[in-house]
Amino acid sequence: LGTSPTSAYIESSTGVADRGRTGLTALTVAVLFIAAAFFSPLVGAVAGLSAITAPALIVVGSLMISNIAHINWRELDEAFSAFLIILSMPLTSSIATGIALGFISYPLLKIARGRWRDVPLLLYVLAVLFFLQLAFLPH
């Protein structure tokens, strides 16, 4: 339907954060995504304007800002990746791009610090996939 897999993940994690652990949350999100598909032509007509996405990013950012207290700011590999995500979301007007940059930078910084064993293999795979997406696919 033209949605980003990262956005679908964020919708899912939001439901889990609100204690929606049954299939009803996923079913509700699925029905809303299907309903949103009917508005695709209208959204497509104005989607190129950053003024359309900026308010949503501001609201999402303000909701996410409380989690900054849980970041270990004394560890560069942890702090820089989080900072890069926080900074790149509003500058690129894309939540997915911000998350992708975080997925790429985190394993790279762990490797640079010699702590590559702390990163699960799946995170390396995701970092490569996100890099390929940003480098070769239009966004």
- The pLDDT tens digits of the residues spanning 73-101 come to 999 988 999 999 889 988 888 888 999 99
Helices (H), the chain: 5-17, 23-37, 40-46, 50-64, 76-92, 95-112, 121-136
CA distance 68 to 1: 32
Task: Say which residue, 111 or 1, is predicted with more confidence.
Answer: 111
Q: For the chain, which residues make up each domain, given as ranges?
A: 1-47, 50-139
Q: Is the pLDDT of residue 15 over 50?
A: yes
- The pLDDT tens digits of the residues spanning 23-67 come to 787 788 788 888 888 888 887 787 777 677 777 767 877 877 888
pLDDT at 16 (0 to 100): 66
Q: Is the pLDDT of residue 7 over 60?
A: no
CA nearest neighbour of 107 among 137, 134, 128: 128
Confidence of residue 132 (pLDDT cuts 50, 70, 90): very high
Query: Could you tell me what percent of the chain has a pLDDT over 90?
Result: 34
What residues have CB less than 8 Å from 58, skipping those under 6 apart? 90
Read off the pTM. Answer: 0.61
Q: Is the pLDDT of residue 19 over 90?
A: no
